[in-house]
Amino acid sequence: MSVSFLASLLGLSNDEDQLQVAFDEVLKRRVPSRQPTNLRMSAPIRYYYDLMSQPSRALFIIFRLSNMPFEDCVVALRNGEHLTEDFKKEINRFQRVPCIHDNGYKLAESVAILRYLSAKGKIPEHLYPKYFVDQSRVDEFLEWQHMSLRLTCAMYFRTVWLEPLLTGRTPSEAKIETFRMQMERNLDVVEEVWLEGKDFLTGSSLTVADIFAACEIEQTRMADYDVRIKYPKIRAWLKRVRQSCNPYYDVAHEFVYKISGTGPQAKL
Amino acid sequence: MSQPLKFYFDFLNQSSRALYILLEASKIPFEAIPISMLKGEHLTGEFRDNVNRFRKLPAITDHGYQLSENVAIFRHLAREKLVPEHWYPRRHLGRSRIDEYLAWQQTNMGVATTEYFQQKWLVPYLQKTRPADNAVNLASKQLEHTLNEFEQLFLNSRKFMMGDNISYADLSAICEIDQPKSIGYNAFQNRNKLARWYETVREELGPHYKEVLGEFEAKLKGSGSGQQQGVAQAVKQ
């Protein structure tokens, strides 16, 4: 994840105290993870994440909705905790979040983690179908978003919010416009193709595709981009996704809300 | 004879080659339908309505069901067809390890190989210009970095990426590396492990791979004439 890498590589300076306070507040109010009641169960999965990271938020919400117990292992990307040799050796050789440890088995990449846990029966089938064309359609979205929605939303966020924070330099209007146009080409596809004739991205009910997509799009909120102005279907869909995922959706995005200064109620 | 599984592809595209080889090697009956991205054949309304609403290649229709995206198609085939187990093995956590690699490839090696191919070959071809040195150098540096990472993170002392048997990870990876290699990039300089792995995979894949690679390289040489309505961004899925 280039955004977090850049942030930690250069080291936050201006707003670090503010971020620390905001982040600590979020952590204090975190919904406690459920403890396993069956003593014969293996140790809960260790989940390494930072709620500043879009896929980390998505998996956080999915795990909560699935009632899957896990051990919280928060990694502060802004402090470069993922860039140490210890992290690389002990936690994740890719030096990124999210990743999991399942009784010693280490796995990275949010989509791979999702599929692994689904194969183990940890993710209910209404969220990630196991069979036939239902899974194909969710898979198609998960693969499409990598190089389209995720890439362009992250680039816009980085250009407008992260780089000025790190360098103190304001990007040119032309540069902002370029990245906004690239992002909106993909938002157009979400609005006109994925959401055509249905309430959710892959059908009439929520799946992990919606959760991943919403977490990507919410990232742009921090860059003062309001997707709801131009995209009425996305606006209505985001409301449905939030309603379906709460209270976990708001917990996962509390940091995003705080930084952007706009709660989910604003202008809805 | 018409088959219910139709595969739409262009061998200029890495994923098209990987899936085509998988289908042939697995002996899955399918109808091969070549589409020319350089001629913009995937951008027509007919293609959008009858083949794929995203106008992407590769794409399949299976009894009329439309699907795009390399990994989604691969998983569909693994689930619905008789794909030999070694391509996507359940044992020893092979599936999750392959999923991890394919996700990494998409945002790392796939980006680097595509960028290099576009700057070195595709853009000059479409615009009838010489490659822009700055852009090629930048893409080359990115490619150097990602190949080093690939070698360090995914290649080990085993024969293939996932162990002693070839899997879709190996097939997908070799098709990515062929993208810059076929236009003159030396991927193996100071990368002995990569070179050994490459030869091992190539030998294992045998005639299906050689045939497809031959067609890809013939396309590169033979594209000196013909219309150029294709869009550069559409080459990579």
Is some CB atom of chain A closer than 8 A to the CB atom of B69? yes
pLDDT-based confidence at residue A208 (cuts at 50, 70, 90): very high
Is some CB atom of chain A closer than 8 A to the CB atom of B234? no
Question: A166 and A245 in one domain?
Answer: yes
- Measured over the CA atoms of residue A225, residue A149, residue A213 and residue A239, the dihedral's sign is positive
Contact (Cβ atoms closer than 8 angstroms) between residue B237 and residue B69: yes
**A120-144: average pLDDT:** 90
Q: State the total domains in chain A.
A: 2
Q: Among candidates B193, B206, B209, which has minimal Cα distance to B160?
A: B193
Whole-number pLDDT of residue B179: 95
**B175-197: average pLDDT:** 93
Q: How far apart are CA B47 and CA B43, in angstroms?
A: 7
Q: Which of B67, B68, B96 lies at the smallest CB-CB distance from A112? A: B96
Residue A14 lies in a domain: no
Whole-number pLDDT of residue A33: 53
**B168-183: average pLDDT:** 96
**A108-128: average pLDDT:** 94
What confidence tens digit (pLDDT) does each residue in A4-53 have? 444 444 444 334 444 555 555 555 444 555 445 444 456 888 899 999 89
Q: Do A112 and B79 touch (CB under 8 A)?
A: no
Domain B91-206 bears CATH identifier 1.10.10.10: no
**High-pLDDT (> 70) share of chain A, %:** 81
Return the residue of B nearest to A92 by Cα. Answer: B153
Chain A interface, mutation test: which of B53, B54, B99, most A Cβ atoms within 10 Å?
Answer: B99
CA distances to A55, A79, A99 from A114, in Å: 11, 27, 11
Pick the CATH number of B5-87+226-236 from 3.20.10.10, 3.50.50.60, 3.40.630.30, 3.40.30.10: 3.40.30.10
Burial class (CB in 10 A: 0-12, 13-18, 19+), A196: exposed
Whole-number pLDDT of residue A78: 74
- Is the pLDDT assigned to residue A180 strictly greater than 90? no
> Nearest CA to CA, how far is B101 from chain A (Å)?
8
Q: What is the mean pLDDT of chain B?
A: 89
Question: A139 and A248 in one domain?
Answer: yes
Q: How far apart are CA A126 and CA A135, in angstroms?
A: 10
**Domain span at A116:** 45-120
Q: Do A109 and B110 touch (CB under 8 A)?
A: no
**A252 residue type, one letter:** A
Contact (Cβ atoms closer than 8 angstroms) between residue A23 and residue A74: no
Following DSSP, what letter does each residue of B114-174 receive, concatenated?
HHHHIIIIIHHHHHT-PPPHHHHHHHHHHHHHHHHHHHHHH--SSSBTTBSS--HHHHHHH
Whole-number pLDDT of residue A40: 43
Is some CB atom of chain A closer than 8 A to the CB atom of B199? no
Residue A28 lies in a domain: no
Q: Which of residues 20-59 of B touch A (CB under 8 A)?
A: 53-54
CATH 1.20.1050.10 in chain B, residues? 91-206
Question: A176 and A88 in one domain?
Answer: no
The CATH number that applies at residue A156 is 1.20.1050.10
Residue A11 lies in a domain: no
Is some CB atom of chain A closer than 8 A to the CB atom of B188? no
Whole-number pLDDT of residue B189: 85
Whole-number pLDDT of residue B171: 97
Contact (Cβ atoms closer than 8 angstroms) between residue B237 and residue A140: no
Whole-number pLDDT of residue A39: 47
Q: Which residue has the higher pLDDT, A263 or A139?
A: A139
Chain A interface, mutation test: which of B52, B69, B236, B237, most A Cβ atoms within 10 Å?
Answer: B69
The CATH number that applies at residue A50 is 3.40.30.10
